[in-house]
Structure 1
Amino acid sequence: MKSLVIAAALAVSGLWAASATAQGISPCTQQDQTECMLESIWVAASILPPEKQDRVKRNFLYVVAETHDAGLTREWSRRLNSAPLLPANGTGYARRKAQGLLAEGGWDKFLQRARAGTSPFNIGRPEIMAEGARLAETPDTRKRVINAMFDLAGPPLGGKGFDRSFEQADFGHVLAELSMEDCNLQDFDRAVRLTATPDSLRYALWRARITGDASPLAARIRNEADDQDTRHVRAVLEGYGPIISRGYCPD
């Protein structure tokens, strides 16, 4: 709660952009990391207008639910005046398409159609291939799909942000996520170079899952908060969520 008071005071006084040290904000420690990181994320959300806080509240509570800590879930539900949520689940479009393709023709046909870009790969090819990789029954098959995705993405193109290939950026994003899931730092760094925003906190947090400690990023989560745009908080939730749900990669 103290950090929320600090955040509000800094927002009012216009000092939010100061460094964490100057603000008197201590970095998270590994002992209390989950509670501290969640607090940091909500500090970032707390400077948004109330209606925009409401837009990220549900996503935040889904991440809290992934801790499977009943006490922590109740506490945040009380603080945000919301009923507790269960972890999100469900089968999305890309997963359904991948399942249908594999049931229809197996891996050879799946990859053949993916490389050709024929329907349904003409829309959402990176996402469908990523779900295919997750459905692989063996590590070798998963790696085969991932290698095909890197081939289709090609080498990093010039330009910054979205002034580059949209599909390459999409391939980079899903490949970074798959590499984070696999604890493969080499593939992760290769994938992030393909994305539109390689320096984003989302990818910094995913990389921290592989290397083993996200706590140094707490100050950055607070310092880069935006008082009008919810994208910062959404990206941080997407970045920290896998650390909560999957834990850190083994040494």
Structure 2
Amino acid sequence: MMRVFFLSLSLLTAGPAAVADPGCVPGQDEKKCMIQAIWEAAAGFPADKRDRLKPIFLNTVALSGDAALLADWEGRLGGEAAPEPEYPDYVRERAEAELREADWNHFLQQAQAGLPPFNIGRPELMAAGARLAPDVATRQRVIEAMFALAGPPQPGARPLENFERGDFGHVLSELAMENCNLAAFDRAVQLTVEPDGLRYAFWRARITGGAAALAARVRTESDRQDTRHVREALEGYGAILQRGYCPA
């Protein structure tokens, strides 16, 4: 009898943690729900960590273009969105300079050989080149060269064994997300250090249109000591707020 009593008491006092965290419903209210879920994931952080997250959080909310939603959160957090100034894109400038001096054949030859300027930041520089491509065929040619340089996925490899592969995977995943190419995304994300990472889950959801279900994961996987989970959620969902979902 006493055992039943304590069991009943534990269920009554467990509170919200005893109830499965709900996801969000797709549609107009998804933004409000997802933003709420992301901030709830930060609720367990010490005050100083939450304070450091506030500007990033509000800047992400601002990407929604929803003035009322932003004003609500600015009031709740006692701050204002203040996007960082637009700094020069040095990687893009390097790619542009390389292409001014030679054609795409030379660009790819230099990249494949790892010759300057591709001896530093090759994945990012090639990704900038892909974005500068004048047509789909040229962009795809650059992307396939990037996949070839990355090599096949190595699931058992340690992150530092081939850090460039992980960098290629990251930028290729981002390119695929931007271009709404699910097949390329699924291929690229396997090259990353964390294929199952939350950022990539949101990026994939931009293509498939199913981010609402990730709210439960945002709430339940948060680490009270490490803000990376929340930062990845903000970066991942921020892409959806900024770009919208891909056409069905």
My pick for the range that moved more, 118-127 or 54-63, is 54-63
1:225-244 alignment runs, 5 A limit: 225-244=222-241
**Secondary structure at the residue paired with 1:198?**
coil
- Partner amino acid, structure 2, of 1:129: M
1:64-75 alignment runs, 5 A limit: 64-75=61-72
Query: How big is the shift at 1:164?
Result: 3.6
My pick for the range that moved more, 131-140 or 152-161, is 152-161
After superposition, the C-alpha distances for 1:110-131 in whole angstroms (9 at most, x for unaligned) are 2121111112211111111111
Distance 2:184 2:85 in 1: 27
After superposition, the C-alpha distances for 1:57-100 in whole angstroms (9 at most, x for unaligned) are 22212211111111111111122211233487443332222222
Q: Is 2:60 the counterpart of 1:29?
A: no
Distance 1:37 1:88 in 2: 26
Q: Is 2:82 the counterpart of 1:85?
A: yes
- Partner amino acid, structure 2, of 1:58: P
RMSD: 2.1
Distance 2:205 2:225 in 1: 27
| 1:88–1:63 distance in 2 versus 1, CA, 3 Å | farther
- Partner amino acid, structure 1, of 2:25: T
Distance 1:126 1:156 in 2: 16
Contact 1:176 1:192 in 2 (8 A): yes
Contact 1:37 1:215 in 2 (8 A): yes
Distance 2:117 2:32 in 1: 42
| 1:88–1:178 distance in 2 versus 1, CA, 3 Å | farther
User: Which blocks of at least 5 consecutive residues in structure 1 are unaligned?
Assistant: 1-12
- Partner amino acid, structure 2, of 1:124: G
Q: Which residue of 1 aligns with 2:47?
A: 50
Distance 2:207 2:239 in 1: 11
How many residue pairs get aligned? The number is 235
Larger radius of gyration: 2
TM-score of the superposition, structure 1-length normalised? 0.86
- Partner amino acid, structure 2, of 1:237: L
Q: Which residue of 2 aligns with 1:154?
A: 151
TM-score of the superposition, structure 2-length normalised? 0.87
Aligned residues with identical type, % of pairs: 54
Distance 2:126 2:15 in 1: 45
After superposition, the C-alpha distances for 1:142-195 in whole angstroms (9 at most, x for unaligned) are 111111100110111242551541000110111011111111111111111111
2:166 to 169, 193, 196: 169
**Secondary structure at the residue paired with 2:42?**
helix
Q: Is 2:116 the counterpart of 1:134?
A: no
| 1:161–1:225 distance in 2 versus 1, CA, 3 Å | farther
1:209-248 alignment runs, 5 A limit: 209-248=206-245
Query: How big is the shift at 1:105?
Result: 2.0
